[in-house]
Amino acid sequence: MRYLPKSPADRKAMLQAIGARSIGDLFAPIPAEYRLERDLKVPRQMAESEIVDWFRERARENGDSYTTFLGAGAYSHYRPVIIDSLISRGEFLTAYTPYQAEISQGTLQAIFEFQTMICELTGMEVANASMYDGSTAAAEAAMMAVRITGRRSVVMARSLHPEYREVLATYAHHQNLPLSTCPFDNTGRLNLQELEKSITSDTACVLIQSPNFLGTIEDISSVAEMAHKKGALLVVSIAEAVSLGIVEPPRQADVIAMEAQSFGVPLGFGGPYCGVIATREQFVRQMPGRLAGQTTDRNGKRGFVLTLATREQHIRREKATSNICTNQALVALMVNIFMTIYGKVGLQELAQHNLAKTAYAAGQFNKQAKLLFSGAPRFNEFVVQTSEDPYAINSRILGHKIVGGLPLRKFYPELGHAALWCCTELTTRSAIDTAVGMVAESERSVKAAKEEVDVQEVSR
Amino acid sequence: MKHMTRKATRHVNQNEGLIFEKSSAGKAAWKLPPLDVPEVDASALLGSSARKDLGHMPEVSEIEIIRHFTRLSTWNYAIDLGMYPLGSCTMKYNPRVNELVVRLEGLANGHPYQPEKISQGALRIIRTLSDCLLEITGMDAITLQPAAGAHGELTGLLMVRAYHQSKGAPRKKILIPDSAHGTNPATAAMVGYAVENLKSNAQGMVDVAALTAQMNEDVAALMLTNPNTLGVFEQEIHKIAEIMHAKGGLLYMDGANMNALVGKVRPGDFGVDVMHLNLHKTFSTPHGGGGPGSGPVAVRQTLEPFLPKPVLVTKPDGTLAFDYDRPQSVGRVRAFYGNFGMFVRALAYILANGPDGLRQTTEDAVLNANYIRKGLEGIYDLPYSTPSMHEVVFSDKLQAKKGVKTMDLAKRLIDYGFHPYTTAFPLIVPGALMIEPTESESKEEMDLFIEAMKSIAEEVEEDPQTVLDAPRSTRVSRLDESAAARKPVLRWKPGT
């Protein structure tokens, strides 16, 4: 086996040194009746070339080289080459959690810079590094609000990512945290009258997403004011991190739960991604996840360590803020490098490109079908309602090697034949025009079919 | 070679400030293509939501970023540099072909919501890995959705709870041995269970008499790590399972140490009802400085209805699809389908090994731990003489007499060119030195390690201060952790 650095002679010498007759002696503690005396039924040992071929075949079966209009919590952005060059360095790739600070300064300083940049972008005072993803970050942020306020219930927006809502429901269920859902209005924003009614003296937090699942940017100040007036916290989930380049961050929030996948992390069929929680300094001791802090060594030299570990499971056990241990460190490093590459000016220009492509696409779709929620600003996603079932339209678009917008029937049946479309800096005008053309064709044929029926009815 | 190290030497490494300290307006490491759609006015489109300024985000060039992170990387220790014997963490070699295949176009760029018709490759990977893991564990059904080991524990206990609920009541308690990882009690609390401590016996194993006494109809499950955190196989595992099952309880196995068992024995065969695996331990996916991981949960058929949704199914036409119609499911524990990139890597590892390679890997891991045990026995105190599997736990009892604790010994080991072992864990061993070499170490590397540990023991006798002052060869000396916690500085600010 090519990963094992021992010759038969080494093994023999080691067994001799130990005083064992055979390797079987070392497995004697396993009761004989349970020992597996046969080969595992897994594929035979493969050569490296065979492994590469096997996965190439799977990659070909997996939508290789399609253009996508899918977003909905997983965004297709360009990944600068140096991200992979740098994270492939063995010193980052094959290191453990930086508990031994003296030989982990690289990882620790990188985390410190990550925390700083997340704070700059979100307008929060502290940020952790990291949570599993945006969905679990949102759930953990809600539980954090429960600990901070001593209240039990959570009001979540219906425009929060449906799968994030499902995850929160799973987490909240067995801790007996009542959840309620607040609807959106016809601008796609949270219905403030309904929100006012749903916040009670037991509401720990209002949990919203902005830009929300429908692409709409929420009126953060009004929501914050309403939550705070009744002593509840505001938790804002951000699923599309690139929006931070041009959309004012929710500074009035108490906790921000982010999905940072947009910052240089491959779509990778849904993971690994990178959740982050950011908050105000006063709440840091209730925040889950790892934190790097600055300190000095015995000679007064600047250095970094993992800190405030008394929040964590390896110290506090059942009283910890969370059970999280392994996080998404290497993915956070991708995010870190991405933020460094684009920086202060690039992130803004990148976001500007997303905005422009989306504005163009939304305008074009609106000429052929119905653009929903146009009364409030959006970033890079929008909802288009068609006369025909979007699954049917999409299957025709797929023939052009283009994946159309996400049909919303599963998540929001009340929206009828609606789909959520997303444009990023990678979406070309020609792809937009092709997709819009297919939607236009669909509308025309539905209309023609309808006219045909009308004509027949008149003639009858 | 007394008091000298043959493994490591000093070499020049570069100083490097924070990236913000290199920033200067007008530098850039990016370039966007020309817009092919009309430009827009952000203020007009976004109104009061338009952002004006990105604060103190850096402005640097590409070469500076390459040097910045490359310099930082050289301050890290890593498996690629040498033995990393962190007990319980399983720091084994991370094969590079795994990194290549995960970056193949169709896999790296697959959107989680793309139509199933063009997702068959990804689904086939999930199915093949699932089948392999079920065969390895001897369990009946599996979910790959949990993002890490602790997340797998959460998922597993949610299923335990749903199972008991379906029988009438969720029960109240989880039994956890005093040798367990901190994640176990933290997880039980998150699922709304009370934690009851189970004492270990003189051999470091579950005290079967105590378990019998503590087990009753209020106990939902026992969370057991096997081999446990002492590296000891629970020899009375069959009795433990019987005691749990007799009172309607379940046996949860924390699979953190599954690398001691693969190909030699299967948890499903010795009575485990639900267990998680850590793909980043046993199945070689890189730890990456703390993550990402992946924590699949495998269960017995009776728990299958409670798996998180969606569940992968084969349709009548032979294609694969996700089934969301799972009325008894515990729900979702994560958006999408889990850390797919880790599935690709773990499967590549399994394919590279095959049945013979997996078995040899387990045998070598156990051989290595026992070789180190033999090499250091007598020099360091061995609190439990029970046979070791994949790791061995010593204590600092002998060295503590000279005022040198496990953490001091660990810091000195750094000067000898090794990453320290796990310190101060498990909690049942005061001053623990928990050593797990994994199968990835050659005899030569382990001989150097044994030599280093012996040399440090001599230093403790002759000149304990040398050890207390360690490390001496690193960029920074011991860092003031209490100052960091007392007055936390958690971000850079301009002018500091």
In chain B, residues with a C-beta closer than 8 Å to the C-beta of A248 are 46, 48-51
Whether the per-residue pLDDT at A311 is higher than 90: the answer is: no
Tokens 């950011």 correspond to A278
Q: Looking at CA atoms only, how far is residue A197 from chain B in angstroms?
A: 26
Are the beta carbons of A91 and B81 separated by less than 8 Å? Answer: yes
Are the beta carbons of B36 and A350 separated by less than 8 Å? Answer: no
B81 touches chain A (CB under 8 A): yes
Q: Which of A217, A267, A270 is closest, CB to CB, to B49?
A: A217
Q: Looking at CA atoms only, how far is residue B207 from chain A in angstroms?
A: 16
Q: Which of B42, B353, B359 is closest, CB to CB, to A246?
A: B42
B46 touches chain A (CB under 8 A): yes
Q: Looking at CA atoms only, how far is residue A136 from chain B in angstroms?
A: 6
Whether the per-residue pLDDT at A175 is higher than 90: the answer is: no
Q: Looking at CA atoms only, how far is residue B491 from chain A in angstroms?
A: 5
Could you count the other beta carbons within 10 Å of the beta carbon of residue A298? Answer: 11
Q: Which residues pair with B311 in a beta bridge?
A: B323
Q: Which of B57, B154, B352 is closest, CB to CB, to A323?
A: B154
| HEC secondary structure over chain B | CCCCCCCCCCCCCCCCCCHHHHCCCCCCCCCCCCCCCCCCCHHHHHHHHECCCCCCCCCCCHHHHHHHHHHHHCCECCCCCCCCCECCCCCCCCCHHHHHHHCCHHHHCCCCCCCHHHCHHHHHHHHHHHHHHHHHHCCCEEECCCCCHHHHHHHHHHHHHHHHHHCCCCCCEEEEECCCCCHHHHHHHHCCCEEEEECECCCCCECHHHHHHHCCCCEEEEEEECCCCCCCCCCCHHHHHHHHHHCCCEEEEEECCHHHCCCCECHHHHCCCEEEECCCCCCCCCCCCCCCCCCCEEECHHHHHHCCCCEEEECCCCCEEEECCCCCCCCCCCCCCCCHHHHHHHHHHHHHHHHHHHHHHHHHHHHHHHHHHHHHECCEECCCCCCCCCCEEEECHHHHCCCCCHHHHHHHHHHCCCCCCEECCCCCCCCEEEECCCCCCCHHHHHHHHHHHHHHHHHHHHCHHHHHCCCCCCCCCCECHHHHHHCCCCCCCCCC
B364 touches chain A (CB under 8 A): yes
Q: Phi first, then psi: what are they for A50, rounded to 5°?
A: -70, -40
Are the beta carbons of B477 and A39 separated by less than 8 Å? Answer: no
In chain A, residues with a C-beta closer than 8 Å to the C-beta of B333 are 136, 167, 170
* Closest A-chain CA to B23: A343
Q: Rounding to the nearest 10 degrees, give the CA dihedral for residues A240, A58, B296, B358.
A: -140
Residues 55-74 of B with CB under 8 A from A: 55-60, 62, 65-66, 68-74
Q: Do residues A418 and A408 make contact, with C-beta atoms less than 8 angstroms apart?
A: yes
Give the residue ranges of chain B where pLDDT is below 50: 1
* Closest A-chain CA to B357: A1
Cα B109 to chain centroid distance, Å, stands at 26
Are the beta carbons of A343 and B108 separated by less than 8 Å? Answer: no
Q: What is the pTM of this model?
A: 0.97
Q: Which residues pair with A370 in a beta bridge?
A: A385
In chain A, residues with a C-beta closer than 8 Å to the C-beta of B357 are 1, 3-4, 45
Which two tokens mark B458?
């001599």
Q: Looking at CA atoms only, how far is residue A255 from chain B in angstroms?
A: 16
Are the beta carbons of B147 and A107 separated by less than 8 Å? Answer: no
Are the beta carbons of B23 and A245 separated by less than 8 Å? Answer: no
- ∠ Cα A440 A443 A448 (to 5°): 125
* Closest A-chain CA to B29: A341
B15 touches chain A (CB under 8 A): no
pLDDT single digits (tens) A104-145: 999 999 999 999 999 999 999 999 999 999 999 999 999 999
Give residue A315's pLDDT: 80
Give residue A173's pLDDT: 87
Give residue A326's pLDDT: 87
Give residue B311's pLDDT: 98
Q: Which of B35, B151, B491 is closest, CB to CB, to A132?
A: B151
Are the beta carbons of B352 and A297 separated by less than 8 Å? Answer: no
**Residue type at B257 in one-letter notation:** N
Alpha-carbon span B176 to B183, nearest angstrom: 11
The residues, any chain, with a CB within 8 Å of residue B116's CB and separated by 6 or more, are B123, B319, B320, B321, B322
Give residue A314's pLDDT: 82
Give residue B157's pLDDT: 97
**Residue type at B53 in one-letter notation:** D
Length of chain B: 496
B35 touches chain A (CB under 8 A): yes
Which two tokens mark A108?
């620790």
Give residue B1's pLDDT: 42
In chain B, residues with a C-beta closer than 8 Å to the C-beta of A19 are 374
Q: Looking at CA atoms only, how far is residue B301 from chain A in angstroms?
A: 20
Alpha-carbon span B332 to B122, nearest angstrom: 20
Residues 201-230 of B with CB under 8 A from A: none
Give residue A370's pLDDT: 97
* Closest A-chain CA to B335: A163
B491 touches chain A (CB under 8 A): yes
Cα A326 to chain centroid distance, Å, stands at 17
Are the beta carbons of B68 and A340 separated by less than 8 Å? Answer: yes
Q: Do residues B142 and B303 make contact, with C-beta atoms less than 8 angstroms apart?
A: no
In chain A, residues with a C-beta closer than 8 Å to the C-beta of B102 are 268
ipTM > 0.95 (yes/no): yes
Q: Which of A1, A119, A331 is closest, CB to CB, to B360?
A: A1
Alpha-carbon span A413 to A356, nearest angstrom: 29
Residues 83-112 of B with CB under 8 A from A: 84, 86, 89, 91, 93-95, 97, 99-112
Are the beta carbons of B79 and A90 separated by less than 8 Å? Answer: yes
